[in-house]
Structure 1
Protein backbone atom coordinates (compact mmCIF):
# COMPACT_ATOMS: atom_id res chain seq x y z
CA UNK A 1 0.00 0.00 0.00
CA UNK A 2 1.19 3.49 -0.83
CA UNK A 3 2.27 5.34 2.26
CA UNK A 4 1.62 8.98 3.10
CA UNK A 5 1.36 11.44 5.95
CA UNK A 6 -1.74 12.20 7.93
CA UNK A 7 -1.27 15.96 7.63
CA UNK A 8 -2.18 18.62 10.15
CA UNK A 9 -5.52 18.53 11.92
CA UNK A 10 -7.58 21.53 12.94
CA UNK A 11 -9.43 21.94 16.22
CA UNK A 12 -12.42 20.02 14.84
CA UNK A 13 -10.25 17.03 13.97
CA UNK A 14 -10.26 17.75 10.25
CA UNK A 15 -7.20 17.11 8.12
CA UNK A 16 -5.67 19.69 5.84
CA UNK A 17 -5.51 18.68 2.17
CA UNK A 18 -4.34 21.79 0.41
CA UNK A 19 -7.17 24.23 -0.22
CA UNK A 20 -9.77 21.83 1.17
CA UNK A 21 -9.95 20.32 4.62
CA UNK A 22 -11.34 16.80 4.71
CA UNK A 23 -13.22 15.53 7.73
CA UNK A 24 -11.22 13.24 10.01
CA UNK A 25 -12.80 9.75 10.26
CA UNK A 26 -12.05 9.43 13.98
CA UNK A 27 -13.63 12.81 14.71
CA UNK A 28 -16.69 11.85 12.68
CA UNK A 29 -17.17 8.65 14.66
CA UNK A 30 -16.77 10.59 17.90
CA UNK A 31 -19.42 13.11 16.86
CA UNK A 32 -21.72 10.28 15.76
CA UNK A 33 -21.12 8.42 19.03
CA UNK A 34 -20.54 5.08 17.31
CA UNK A 35 -17.76 2.52 17.40
CA UNK A 36 -18.87 0.04 14.75
CA UNK A 37 -20.37 -3.39 15.27
CA UNK A 38 -19.17 -6.47 13.33
CA UNK A 39 -22.51 -8.15 14.14
CA UNK A 40 -24.15 -5.42 12.03
CA UNK A 41 -21.44 -5.70 9.35
CA UNK A 42 -20.09 -2.29 10.43
CA UNK A 43 -16.37 -1.86 9.81
CA UNK A 44 -15.62 1.83 9.38
CA UNK A 45 -12.80 2.74 6.99
CA UNK A 46 -10.62 5.07 9.06
CA UNK A 47 -7.30 5.26 7.17
CA UNK A 48 -7.06 8.79 5.74
CA UNK A 49 -4.69 7.71 3.00
CA UNK A 50 -7.04 5.04 1.67
CA UNK A 51 -10.04 7.35 1.93
CA UNK A 52 -8.20 10.04 -0.01
CA UNK A 53 -7.21 7.60 -2.77
CA UNK A 54 -10.59 5.99 -3.42
CA UNK A 55 -12.19 8.84 -5.44
CA UNK A 56 -9.06 9.06 -7.58
CA UNK A 57 -9.56 5.53 -8.91
CA UNK A 58 -12.40 6.80 -11.08
CA UNK A 59 -11.11 7.29 -14.60
CA UNK A 60 -13.90 9.59 -15.76
CA UNK A 61 -15.61 12.69 -14.44
CA UNK A 62 -18.73 12.03 -12.38
CA UNK A 63 -21.17 14.82 -11.62
CA UNK A 64 -23.36 12.51 -9.52
CA UNK A 65 -21.72 9.82 -7.38
CA UNK A 66 -23.57 7.04 -5.58
CA UNK A 67 -22.15 5.82 -2.26
CA UNK A 68 -23.53 2.68 -0.64
CA UNK A 69 -22.89 2.21 3.06
CA UNK A 70 -21.99 5.80 3.92
CA UNK A 71 -21.57 5.18 7.65
CA UNK A 72 -20.36 8.33 9.38
CA UNK A 73 -19.45 10.10 6.13
CA UNK A 74 -15.66 9.90 5.95
CA UNK A 75 -15.77 8.78 2.31
CA UNK A 76 -18.86 10.90 1.62
CA UNK A 77 -16.81 13.96 2.50
CA UNK A 78 -14.14 13.08 -0.06
CA UNK A 79 -16.72 12.29 -2.74
CA UNK A 80 -18.32 15.72 -2.37
CA UNK A 81 -15.16 17.13 -3.95
CA UNK A 82 -16.18 15.32 -7.16
CA UNK A 83 -19.73 16.63 -7.41
CA UNK A 84 -23.20 15.75 -6.19
CA UNK A 85 -23.48 12.67 -3.96
CA UNK A 86 -26.31 10.32 -3.05
CA UNK A 87 -25.34 8.42 0.09
CA UNK A 88 -27.29 5.26 0.96
CA UNK A 89 -27.26 4.23 4.62
CA UNK A 90 -29.47 1.57 6.18
CA UNK A 91 -28.81 2.49 9.84
CA UNK A 92 -31.42 5.13 10.81
CA UNK A 93 -29.19 6.71 13.45
CA UNK A 94 -26.28 7.07 11.03
CA UNK A 95 -28.57 8.43 8.31
CA UNK A 96 -29.80 11.07 10.77
CA UNK A 97 -26.21 11.89 11.71
CA UNK A 98 -25.23 12.33 8.07
CA UNK A 99 -28.08 14.80 7.52
CA UNK A 100 -26.94 16.78 10.56
CA UNK A 101 -23.19 16.59 9.93
CA UNK A 102 -23.59 17.58 6.27
CA UNK A 103 -26.52 19.94 6.76
CA UNK A 104 -24.98 22.65 4.56
CA UNK A 105 -24.35 20.21 1.71
CA UNK A 106 -27.87 18.77 2.01
CA UNK A 107 -29.39 22.25 2.00
CA UNK A 108 -27.37 23.18 -1.08
CA UNK A 109 -28.57 20.07 -2.95
CA UNK A 110 -25.06 18.65 -3.13
CA UNK A 111 -25.84 15.67 -0.88
CA UNK A 112 -28.88 13.42 -0.66
CA UNK A 113 -29.03 10.90 2.18
CA UNK A 114 -31.12 7.91 1.19
CA UNK A 115 -32.08 5.84 4.22
CA UNK A 116 -32.69 2.15 3.63
CA UNK A 117 -31.30 -1.14 2.38
CA UNK A 118 -29.38 -0.59 -0.87
CA UNK A 119 -30.75 -3.88 -2.18
CA UNK A 120 -34.32 -2.62 -1.83
CA UNK A 121 -34.39 1.18 -2.24
CA UNK A 122 -34.95 2.86 -5.59
CA UNK A 123 -31.53 4.02 -6.71
CA UNK A 124 -31.23 7.37 -8.48
CA UNK A 125 -29.67 7.85 -11.87
CA UNK A 126 -25.95 8.30 -11.19
CA UNK A 127 -22.69 8.63 -13.10
CA UNK A 128 -20.46 6.39 -10.97
CA UNK A 129 -20.36 4.66 -7.61
CA UNK A 130 -17.51 4.75 -5.10
CA UNK A 131 -18.42 2.69 -2.05
CA UNK A 132 -16.97 0.84 0.90
CA UNK A 133 -19.49 -1.99 0.73
CA UNK A 134 -20.62 -4.02 3.74
CA UNK A 135 -19.16 -7.50 3.45
CA UNK A 136 -22.36 -9.52 3.90
CA UNK A 137 -24.41 -8.40 0.88
CA UNK A 138 -21.43 -7.41 -1.28
CA UNK A 139 -22.16 -9.95 -4.02
CA UNK A 140 -25.82 -8.94 -4.30
CA UNK A 141 -24.86 -5.27 -4.26
CA UNK A 142 -22.23 -5.73 -6.96
CA UNK A 143 -24.72 -7.44 -9.24
CA UNK A 144 -27.31 -4.80 -8.61
CA UNK A 145 -24.82 -2.16 -9.78
CA UNK A 146 -22.98 -3.93 -12.61
CA UNK A 147 -25.97 -4.22 -15.00
CA UNK A 148 -26.53 -0.45 -14.71
CA UNK A 149 -23.42 0.15 -16.84
CA UNK A 150 -21.71 2.75 -14.66
CA UNK A 151 -18.05 2.95 -13.55
CA UNK A 152 -17.62 1.45 -10.09
CA UNK A 153 -14.94 1.65 -7.40
CA UNK A 154 -15.92 -0.78 -4.67
CA UNK A 155 -14.25 -2.38 -1.66
CA UNK A 156 -14.79 -6.08 -0.97
CA UNK A 157 -13.21 -8.85 1.01
CA UNK A 158 -9.93 -9.55 -0.77
CA UNK A 159 -10.90 -13.13 -1.65
CA UNK A 160 -14.11 -11.94 -3.32
CA UNK A 161 -12.24 -9.19 -5.20
CA UNK A 162 -9.65 -11.67 -6.48
CA UNK A 163 -12.41 -13.94 -7.75
CA UNK A 164 -14.08 -11.04 -9.55
CA UNK A 165 -10.86 -10.08 -11.33
CA UNK A 166 -9.62 -13.62 -12.14
CA UNK A 167 -9.15 -14.92 -15.69
CA UNK A 168 -9.51 -18.41 -17.23
CA UNK A 169 -7.10 -20.89 -15.72
CA UNK A 170 -6.52 -18.85 -12.55
CA UNK A 171 -7.17 -20.63 -9.28
CA UNK A 172 -9.76 -17.98 -8.38
CA UNK A 173 -11.56 -18.10 -11.75
CA UNK A 174 -15.21 -19.04 -11.46
CA UNK A 175 -18.81 -18.03 -11.95
CA UNK A 176 -18.20 -14.67 -10.29
CA UNK A 177 -15.34 -13.92 -12.71
CA UNK A 178 -17.38 -14.72 -15.81
CA UNK A 179 -20.52 -12.97 -14.57
CA UNK A 180 -18.66 -9.76 -13.67
CA UNK A 181 -16.77 -9.86 -16.97
CA UNK A 182 -20.12 -10.03 -18.75
CA UNK A 183 -20.72 -6.41 -17.75
CA UNK A 184 -17.33 -4.76 -17.38
CA UNK A 185 -13.55 -4.92 -17.35
CA UNK A 186 -12.57 -5.68 -13.75
CA UNK A 187 -9.33 -4.65 -12.04
CA UNK A 188 -8.08 -5.13 -8.50
CA UNK A 189 -6.36 -1.79 -7.84
CA UNK A 190 -5.42 -1.88 -4.15
CA UNK A 191 -5.40 -4.20 -1.17
CA UNK A 192 -6.35 -2.83 2.25
CA UNK A 193 -5.12 -4.33 5.54
CA UNK A 194 -7.48 -4.90 8.47
CA UNK A 195 -5.76 -2.05 10.35
CA UNK A 196 -7.38 0.46 7.98
CA UNK A 197 -10.77 -0.32 9.54
CA UNK A 198 -12.28 0.03 12.98
CA UNK A 199 -13.29 -2.43 14.27
CA UNK A 200 -10.76 -4.48 12.37
CA UNK A 201 -12.21 -7.28 10.23
CA UNK A 202 -10.68 -10.74 10.30
CA UNK A 203 -9.78 -10.54 6.61
CA UNK A 204 -7.97 -8.27 4.19
CA UNK A 205 -10.01 -6.09 1.85
CA UNK A 206 -9.39 -4.94 -1.71
CA UNK A 207 -10.56 -2.20 -4.05
CA UNK A 208 -12.03 -3.21 -7.39
CA UNK A 209 -12.51 -0.87 -10.32
CA UNK A 210 -14.95 -1.83 -13.05
CA UNK A 211 -15.17 -0.16 -16.44
CA UNK A 212 -18.48 -0.89 -18.17
CA UNK A 213 -18.50 -2.24 -21.71
CA UNK A 214 -20.53 -4.54 -23.90
CA UNK A 215 -19.37 -8.17 -23.83
CA UNK A 216 -17.34 -9.49 -26.75
CA UNK A 217 -20.10 -11.99 -27.52
CA UNK A 218 -23.88 -12.17 -27.86
CA UNK A 219 -26.28 -14.19 -25.73
CA UNK A 220 -30.02 -14.57 -26.30
CA UNK A 221 -30.81 -13.73 -22.67
CA UNK A 222 -28.52 -12.33 -19.99
CA UNK A 223 -30.72 -13.84 -17.28
CA UNK A 224 -30.46 -17.31 -18.83
CA UNK A 225 -26.72 -16.89 -19.40
CA UNK A 226 -26.12 -16.06 -15.73
CA UNK A 227 -28.38 -18.90 -14.58
CA UNK A 228 -26.53 -21.30 -16.90
CA UNK A 229 -23.22 -20.17 -15.40
CA UNK A 230 -24.56 -20.71 -11.90
CA UNK A 231 -25.58 -24.23 -12.86
CA UNK A 232 -22.41 -25.50 -14.50
CA UNK A 233 -20.07 -23.92 -11.94
CA UNK A 234 -21.76 -25.90 -9.16
CA UNK A 235 -19.87 -28.84 -10.70
CA UNK A 236 -16.70 -27.09 -11.74
CA UNK A 237 -14.60 -30.23 -11.15
CA UNK A 238 -16.73 -32.23 -13.60
CA UNK A 239 -16.38 -32.11 -17.37
CA UNK A 240 -18.83 -29.75 -19.02
CA UNK A 241 -20.60 -32.80 -20.43
CA UNK A 242 -21.49 -33.99 -16.95
CA UNK A 243 -22.02 -30.49 -15.59
CA UNK A 244 -24.68 -29.76 -18.23
CA UNK A 245 -26.35 -33.12 -17.66
CA UNK A 246 -26.34 -32.93 -13.86
CA UNK A 247 -27.56 -29.36 -13.39
CA UNK A 248 -30.67 -29.11 -15.57
CA UNK A 249 -32.71 -28.52 -12.39
CA UNK A 250 -30.68 -25.33 -11.88
CA UNK A 251 -30.30 -24.13 -15.46
CA UNK A 252 -33.88 -24.97 -16.34
CA UNK A 253 -32.97 -27.07 -19.36
CA UNK A 254 -35.64 -29.50 -20.45
CA UNK A 255 -33.32 -31.49 -22.73
CA UNK A 256 -29.70 -31.31 -21.54
CA UNK A 257 -28.81 -34.37 -23.64
CA UNK A 258 -29.57 -32.40 -26.81
CA UNK A 259 -27.06 -29.76 -25.70
CA UNK A 260 -24.38 -32.36 -25.00
CA UNK A 261 -24.97 -34.00 -28.39
CA UNK A 262 -24.81 -30.71 -30.32
CA UNK A 263 -21.88 -29.09 -28.51
CA UNK A 264 -18.23 -29.12 -29.53
CA UNK A 265 -16.42 -32.15 -28.12
CA UNK A 266 -13.46 -30.09 -26.89
CA UNK A 267 -15.81 -27.87 -24.89
CA UNK A 268 -17.71 -30.83 -23.45
CA UNK A 269 -14.43 -32.44 -22.35
CA UNK A 270 -13.19 -29.30 -20.58
CA UNK A 271 -13.94 -28.19 -17.05
CA UNK A 272 -15.67 -24.93 -16.24
CA UNK A 273 -12.56 -23.31 -14.82
CA UNK A 274 -10.73 -23.80 -18.12
CA UNK A 275 -13.19 -22.08 -20.46
CA UNK A 276 -13.14 -18.37 -21.39
CA UNK A 277 -16.34 -16.30 -21.19
CA UNK A 278 -16.85 -16.55 -24.97
CA UNK A 279 -17.06 -20.34 -24.75
CA UNK A 280 -19.72 -20.11 -22.06
CA UNK A 281 -21.65 -17.65 -24.21
CA UNK A 282 -21.55 -20.00 -27.20
CA UNK A 283 -22.62 -22.94 -25.08
CA UNK A 284 -25.41 -20.99 -23.39
CA UNK A 285 -26.67 -19.87 -26.80
CA UNK A 286 -26.68 -23.48 -27.98
CA UNK A 287 -28.50 -24.53 -24.80
CA UNK A 288 -31.09 -21.82 -25.41
CA UNK A 289 -31.64 -23.06 -28.97
CA UNK A 290 -31.77 -26.85 -28.48
CA UNK A 291 -32.01 -27.49 -24.73
CA UNK A 292 -35.67 -26.48 -24.28
CA UNK A 293 -35.10 -24.01 -21.41
CA UNK A 294 -38.10 -23.35 -19.22
Structure 2
Protein backbone atom coordinates (compact mmCIF):
# COMPACT_ATOMS: atom_id res chain seq x y z
CA UNK A 1 0.00 0.00 0.00
CA UNK A 2 1.38 3.38 -0.92
CA UNK A 3 1.10 6.58 1.07
CA UNK A 4 -2.11 8.52 0.44
CA UNK A 5 -0.16 11.45 -1.02
CA UNK A 6 1.51 9.36 -3.72
CA UNK A 7 -1.29 7.81 -5.70
CA UNK A 8 -2.49 4.43 -6.86
CA UNK A 9 -2.85 1.86 -4.14
CA UNK A 10 -3.41 4.37 -1.36
CA UNK A 11 -6.00 3.76 1.31
CA UNK A 12 -9.25 5.51 0.63
CA UNK A 13 -10.45 8.58 2.43
CA UNK A 14 -7.38 10.74 3.02
CA UNK A 15 -6.00 11.71 -0.38
CA UNK A 16 -4.90 15.33 -0.50
CA UNK A 17 -7.10 17.23 -3.00
CA UNK A 18 -4.26 19.50 -4.14
CA UNK A 19 -2.00 16.49 -4.75
CA UNK A 20 -4.79 14.81 -6.71
CA UNK A 21 -5.13 17.88 -8.93
CA UNK A 22 -1.39 17.92 -9.56
CA UNK A 23 -1.39 14.25 -10.50
CA UNK A 24 -4.36 14.80 -12.80
CA UNK A 25 -2.12 17.17 -14.75
CA UNK A 26 -4.67 19.90 -15.37
CA UNK A 27 -6.48 22.55 -13.42
CA UNK A 28 -10.22 22.86 -13.06
CA UNK A 29 -11.54 25.07 -15.84
CA UNK A 30 -14.22 27.52 -14.66
CA UNK A 31 -15.17 28.08 -18.31
CA UNK A 32 -16.29 24.44 -18.30
CA UNK A 33 -18.07 24.88 -14.98
CA UNK A 34 -15.27 23.11 -13.08
CA UNK A 35 -14.34 24.13 -9.54
CA UNK A 36 -12.41 21.66 -7.39
CA UNK A 37 -13.51 21.36 -3.78
CA UNK A 38 -10.16 21.42 -1.93
CA UNK A 39 -11.14 21.87 1.72
CA UNK A 40 -10.44 18.54 3.42
CA UNK A 41 -12.83 19.24 6.27
CA UNK A 42 -15.76 19.83 3.94
CA UNK A 43 -14.84 16.80 1.83
CA UNK A 44 -14.73 14.60 4.92
CA UNK A 45 -18.15 15.80 6.09
CA UNK A 46 -20.06 15.44 2.83
CA UNK A 47 -20.64 11.65 2.94
CA UNK A 48 -21.77 11.91 6.57
CA UNK A 49 -24.80 13.94 5.48
CA UNK A 50 -26.48 10.91 3.99
CA UNK A 51 -29.51 9.93 6.09
CA UNK A 52 -28.61 7.45 8.83
CA UNK A 53 -30.71 4.72 7.24
CA UNK A 54 -29.56 5.37 3.67
CA UNK A 55 -28.53 2.37 1.61
CA UNK A 56 -24.94 3.12 0.55
CA UNK A 57 -24.40 -0.15 -1.32
CA UNK A 58 -24.25 1.61 -4.71
CA UNK A 59 -23.36 5.28 -4.58
CA UNK A 60 -23.47 7.60 -7.57
CA UNK A 61 -21.20 10.62 -8.00
CA UNK A 62 -21.72 13.10 -10.83
CA UNK A 63 -18.69 15.15 -11.83
CA UNK A 64 -15.75 13.32 -10.27
CA UNK A 65 -13.08 15.76 -11.44
CA UNK A 66 -9.70 14.89 -9.92
CA UNK A 67 -11.28 12.52 -7.41
CA UNK A 68 -11.16 14.20 -4.00
CA UNK A 69 -14.79 13.35 -3.22
CA UNK A 70 -14.48 10.05 -5.07
CA UNK A 71 -11.77 9.10 -2.57
CA UNK A 72 -14.05 9.87 0.39
CA UNK A 73 -16.94 7.94 -1.16
CA UNK A 74 -14.75 4.90 -1.72
CA UNK A 75 -13.93 5.04 1.99
CA UNK A 76 -17.65 5.21 2.73
CA UNK A 77 -18.50 2.08 0.77
CA UNK A 78 -15.53 0.01 1.90
CA UNK A 79 -15.36 0.51 5.65
CA UNK A 80 -17.44 1.35 8.66
CA UNK A 81 -16.92 1.37 12.39
CA UNK A 82 -18.30 -1.40 14.56
CA UNK A 83 -19.91 -0.87 17.95
CA UNK A 84 -16.61 -1.56 19.73
CA UNK A 85 -14.77 1.02 17.62
CA UNK A 86 -12.94 -1.41 15.34
CA UNK A 87 -12.94 -0.97 11.58
CA UNK A 88 -15.08 -3.36 9.62
CA UNK A 89 -15.09 -3.97 5.89
CA UNK A 90 -18.36 -3.77 4.00
CA UNK A 91 -19.22 -4.31 0.38
CA UNK A 92 -20.37 -1.53 -1.88
CA UNK A 93 -19.96 0.07 -5.27
CA UNK A 94 -19.41 3.57 -6.57
CA UNK A 95 -20.22 4.79 -10.06
CA UNK A 96 -18.78 8.13 -11.18
CA UNK A 97 -20.10 9.98 -14.22
CA UNK A 98 -17.48 12.37 -15.62
CA UNK A 99 -17.86 14.19 -18.93
CA UNK A 100 -14.22 15.30 -19.24
CA UNK A 101 -12.20 12.54 -20.92
CA UNK A 102 -8.92 13.49 -19.23
CA UNK A 103 -10.46 13.40 -15.76
CA UNK A 104 -12.30 10.15 -16.50
CA UNK A 105 -9.03 8.53 -17.58
CA UNK A 106 -7.26 9.90 -14.51
CA UNK A 107 -9.91 8.54 -12.14
CA UNK A 108 -9.49 5.07 -13.65
CA UNK A 109 -5.73 5.32 -13.20
CA UNK A 110 -5.72 6.89 -9.73
CA UNK A 111 -8.22 4.39 -8.40
CA UNK A 112 -7.11 1.42 -10.51
CA UNK A 113 -7.21 -0.90 -7.51
CA UNK A 114 -10.85 0.02 -6.85
CA UNK A 115 -11.72 -0.53 -10.51
CA UNK A 116 -9.96 -3.92 -10.48
CA UNK A 117 -11.75 -4.89 -7.26
CA UNK A 118 -15.16 -4.08 -8.74
CA UNK A 119 -15.67 -1.17 -6.33
CA UNK A 120 -15.53 1.65 -8.89
CA UNK A 121 -16.97 2.21 -12.33
CA UNK A 122 -16.19 5.41 -14.22
CA UNK A 123 -18.64 6.38 -16.97
CA UNK A 124 -17.37 8.98 -19.40
CA UNK A 125 -20.27 11.09 -20.57
CA UNK A 126 -22.76 13.85 -19.84
CA UNK A 127 -24.93 13.14 -16.80
CA UNK A 128 -27.92 14.54 -18.69
CA UNK A 129 -27.54 12.01 -21.49
CA UNK A 130 -26.04 8.76 -20.19
CA UNK A 131 -28.11 5.97 -18.71
CA UNK A 132 -28.03 6.21 -14.93
CA UNK A 133 -26.98 3.06 -13.07
CA UNK A 134 -29.40 1.55 -10.50
CA UNK A 135 -27.89 3.60 -7.67
CA UNK A 136 -29.05 3.58 -4.04
CA UNK A 137 -27.92 7.14 -3.16
CA UNK A 138 -26.14 10.04 -4.87
CA UNK A 139 -23.45 12.28 -3.38
CA UNK A 140 -22.05 14.92 -5.71
CA UNK A 141 -20.48 18.32 -6.14
CA UNK A 142 -22.57 19.20 -9.20
CA UNK A 143 -21.52 21.38 -12.13
CA UNK A 144 -23.44 24.55 -11.27
CA UNK A 145 -24.43 25.39 -14.84
CA UNK A 146 -26.57 22.25 -15.15
CA UNK A 147 -27.37 21.64 -11.48
CA UNK A 148 -31.10 22.20 -11.95
CA UNK A 149 -31.36 19.77 -14.87
CA UNK A 150 -29.32 17.13 -13.06
CA UNK A 151 -31.24 17.55 -9.79
CA UNK A 152 -34.54 17.03 -11.58
CA UNK A 153 -33.20 13.96 -13.29
CA UNK A 154 -32.23 12.55 -9.90
CA UNK A 155 -35.18 13.57 -7.70
CA UNK A 156 -37.82 11.36 -9.43
CA UNK A 157 -35.57 8.35 -8.77
CA UNK A 158 -36.68 8.48 -5.12
CA UNK A 159 -33.17 7.99 -3.67
CA UNK A 160 -31.33 9.93 -0.94
CA UNK A 161 -29.28 12.78 -2.42
CA UNK A 162 -26.49 14.92 -0.96
CA UNK A 163 -25.69 17.60 -3.53
CA UNK A 164 -23.61 20.77 -3.68
CA UNK A 165 -25.33 23.76 -5.28
CA UNK A 166 -24.90 27.48 -5.56
CA UNK A 167 -26.25 28.89 -2.29
CA UNK A 168 -28.96 30.92 -4.02
CA UNK A 169 -30.23 27.81 -5.81
CA UNK A 170 -30.20 25.83 -2.55
CA UNK A 171 -32.17 28.55 -0.78
CA UNK A 172 -34.82 28.40 -3.49
CA UNK A 173 -35.06 24.62 -3.13
CA UNK A 174 -35.81 24.79 0.60
CA UNK A 175 -37.96 27.95 0.65
CA UNK A 176 -41.47 27.88 2.10
CA UNK A 177 -44.65 29.42 0.73
CA UNK A 178 -44.71 33.17 1.26
CA UNK A 179 -40.93 33.60 1.26
CA UNK A 180 -39.33 35.65 -1.51
CA UNK A 181 -37.18 32.68 -2.66
CA UNK A 182 -40.23 30.39 -2.95
CA UNK A 183 -41.10 29.35 -6.47
CA UNK A 184 -41.42 26.57 -9.00
CA UNK A 185 -38.11 25.03 -7.85
CA UNK A 186 -39.30 24.91 -4.22
CA UNK A 187 -42.60 23.20 -5.04
CA UNK A 188 -41.07 20.75 -7.49
CA UNK A 189 -38.18 19.70 -5.23
CA UNK A 190 -40.37 19.39 -2.14
CA UNK A 191 -42.84 17.28 -4.12
CA UNK A 192 -40.21 14.55 -4.26
CA UNK A 193 -38.29 14.91 -1.00
CA UNK A 194 -37.75 16.57 2.33
CA UNK A 195 -35.12 19.14 1.37
CA UNK A 196 -32.72 20.85 3.78
CA UNK A 197 -29.48 22.83 3.69
CA UNK A 198 -26.99 20.93 5.86
CA UNK A 199 -23.91 23.12 5.36
CA UNK A 200 -22.96 26.41 3.74
CA UNK A 201 -19.62 26.36 1.96
CA UNK A 202 -17.53 29.51 1.35
CA UNK A 203 -15.90 30.32 -1.98
CA UNK A 204 -12.49 29.78 -0.41
CA UNK A 205 -13.16 26.03 -0.17
CA UNK A 206 -12.77 25.74 -3.97
CA UNK A 207 -9.98 26.15 -6.51
CA UNK A 208 -10.49 28.13 -8.61
CA UNK A 209 -12.94 30.05 -6.45
CA UNK A 210 -16.45 30.40 -7.89
CA UNK A 211 -18.12 33.79 -7.94
CA UNK A 212 -20.76 32.71 -5.41
CA UNK A 213 -21.15 30.92 -2.11
CA UNK A 214 -22.25 27.29 -2.13
CA UNK A 215 -24.41 25.03 0.00
CA UNK A 216 -24.81 21.30 0.55
CA UNK A 217 -28.40 20.10 0.29
CA UNK A 218 -29.79 16.81 1.58
CA UNK A 219 -32.85 15.43 -0.17
CA UNK A 220 -34.56 12.61 1.72
CA UNK A 221 -37.21 10.95 -0.46
CA UNK A 222 -40.75 10.83 0.89
CA UNK A 223 -44.28 10.46 -0.35
CA UNK A 224 -46.13 13.81 -0.39
CA UNK A 225 -49.11 14.28 1.91
CA UNK A 226 -51.39 14.95 -1.07
CA UNK A 227 -52.52 13.05 -4.16
CA UNK A 228 -51.47 13.91 -7.71
CA UNK A 229 -53.22 12.03 -10.49
CA UNK A 230 -50.89 13.19 -13.26
CA UNK A 231 -47.44 14.19 -12.10
CA UNK A 232 -46.36 15.63 -15.45
CA UNK A 233 -49.40 17.90 -15.54
CA UNK A 234 -48.91 18.91 -11.89
CA UNK A 235 -45.31 20.03 -12.53
CA UNK A 236 -46.33 21.80 -15.74
CA UNK A 237 -49.19 23.57 -13.95
CA UNK A 238 -46.84 24.76 -11.19
CA UNK A 239 -44.38 26.02 -13.80
CA UNK A 240 -47.15 27.86 -15.61
CA UNK A 241 -48.51 29.67 -12.57
CA UNK A 242 -45.07 30.81 -11.43
CA UNK A 243 -44.50 32.55 -14.75
CA UNK A 244 -47.22 34.90 -13.43
CA UNK A 245 -46.15 34.97 -9.80
CA UNK A 246 -47.11 38.65 -9.34
CA UNK A 247 -50.61 38.06 -10.70
CA UNK A 248 -53.52 36.62 -8.79
CA UNK A 249 -54.08 32.89 -9.14
CA UNK A 250 -57.21 33.75 -11.16
CA UNK A 251 -55.23 35.68 -13.77
CA UNK A 252 -52.30 33.25 -13.68
CA UNK A 253 -54.59 30.36 -14.63
CA UNK A 254 -56.25 32.37 -17.41
CA UNK A 255 -52.97 33.67 -18.84
CA UNK A 256 -50.99 30.43 -18.96
CA UNK A 257 -53.14 27.84 -20.70
CA UNK A 258 -50.52 27.65 -23.47
CA UNK A 259 -47.96 26.54 -20.88
CA UNK A 260 -50.07 24.31 -18.65
CA UNK A 261 -51.97 22.77 -21.56
CA UNK A 262 -55.40 23.75 -20.22
CA UNK A 263 -57.97 23.86 -22.98
CA UNK A 264 -60.50 25.75 -20.87
CA UNK A 265 -58.83 27.89 -18.18
CA UNK A 266 -62.05 29.80 -17.54
CA UNK A 267 -63.79 26.60 -16.46
CA UNK A 268 -61.09 26.10 -13.83
CA UNK A 269 -61.55 29.65 -12.57
CA UNK A 270 -65.30 29.14 -12.37
CA UNK A 271 -64.85 25.95 -10.31
CA UNK A 272 -62.15 27.24 -7.91
CA UNK A 273 -62.69 28.81 -4.50
CA UNK A 274 -62.87 32.60 -4.64
CA UNK A 275 -60.48 33.12 -1.72
CA UNK A 276 -57.90 30.93 -3.46
CA UNK A 277 -58.28 32.84 -6.73
CA UNK A 278 -57.45 36.13 -4.99
CA UNK A 279 -54.12 34.81 -3.72
CA UNK A 280 -50.80 34.85 -5.57
CA UNK A 281 -48.93 31.71 -6.63
CA UNK A 282 -46.09 32.38 -4.20
CA UNK A 283 -48.42 31.97 -1.22
CA UNK A 284 -49.65 28.47 -2.17
CA UNK A 285 -47.92 25.53 -0.50
CA UNK A 286 -47.35 22.32 -2.51
CA UNK A 287 -50.53 20.69 -1.24
CA UNK A 288 -52.59 23.70 -2.37
CA UNK A 289 -50.96 23.52 -5.80
CA UNK A 290 -51.78 19.81 -5.94
CA UNK A 291 -55.44 20.39 -5.07
CA UNK A 292 -55.70 23.16 -7.65
CA UNK A 293 -53.99 21.03 -10.29
CA UNK A 294 -56.47 18.21 -9.67
CA UNK A 295 -59.32 20.69 -10.00
CA UNK A 296 -57.79 21.91 -13.25
CA UNK A 297 -57.50 18.36 -14.57
CA UNK A 298 -61.16 17.78 -13.88
CA UNK A 299 -62.51 21.02 -15.34
CA UNK A 300 -59.93 22.52 -17.67
CA UNK A 301 -59.70 19.89 -20.42
CA UNK A 302 -55.90 19.59 -20.23
CA UNK A 303 -54.04 18.36 -23.29
CA UNK A 304 -50.57 16.91 -23.77
CA UNK A 305 -47.88 19.59 -24.19
User: Aligned match of 2:175 in 166, 169, 178?
Assistant: 166
SS in 2 for 1:22: coil
Residues 12 and 72 in structure 2, CA contact (< 8 A), matched pair in contact too: no
Other-structure match for 1:191:
200
1:253-273, Cα deviation, whole Å (9 max, x unpaired): 100000000001111110011
Q: Counterpart of 2:75 in 1: which secondary structure?
A: coil
Aligned equivalents of 1:26, 1:13: Cα separation in 2: 10
Q: CA deviation at 1:81?
A: 1.6
TM-score by length of 2: 0.90
Asked if structure 2 preserves the Cα contact closer than 8 Å seen for 1:186 and 1:208, the reply is yes
Give the equivalent residue in structure 2 for 1:63.
57
1:51 aligns with 2:21: no
User: Does structure 2 conserve the Cα–Cα contact (< 8 Å) formed by 1:118 and 1:141?
Assistant: yes
* Counterpart in the other structure of 1:79: 73
Runs of 4+ in 1 over 4 A off after TM superposition: none
> Among 9, 13, 18, which residue is 1:26 paired with?
18
Cα deviation, 1:151-206, whole Å, max 9, x if unaligned, reads 00000000000000011111111110000011000001111111101110000000
Structure 2: tracts of 5 or more residues without a match: 78-92
Mapping of residues 117-136 of structure 1, within 5 Å: 117-136=126-145
Judged with a 3 Å threshold, the aligned counterparts in structure 2 of structure 1 residues 20 and 97 are, in CA distance, closer, same or farther, namely closer
Q: Flag the 1:93–1:42 CA change in 2: closer, same or farther, 3 A.
A: same
- Alignment partner of 2:95: what SS? strand
Q: Unpaired segments of 5 or more residues in structure 1? A: 1-9
Q: What is the CA RMSD across the aligned residues, in angstroms?
A: 1.4
In 1, distance between residues paired with 2:27 and 2:12? 26
TM-score (norm 1): 0.93
Query: Aligned partners of 1:227, 1:32: CA distance in 2, in Å?
Result: 43
**SS, match of residue 41 in structure 2:** helix
Over 3 Å counting, the alpha-carbon distance change for 1:223 and 1:21 in structure 2 is closer
2:149 alignment counterpart: 140
**Which structure 2 residues correspond to residues 137-286 of structure 1 after superposition, within 5 A?**
137-286=146-295
State how far apart, in whole Å, the 1-side matches of 2:149 and 2:288 are.
25
Cα deviation, residue 11, structure 1 = 6.4
Tell me, yes or no, if structure 1 residue 89 matches structure 2 residue 98: yes
CA distance in 2, matches of 1:259, 1:213: 29
- The answer to whether the Cα contact below 8 Å between 1:183 and 1:213 also exists between their aligned partners in 2 is yes
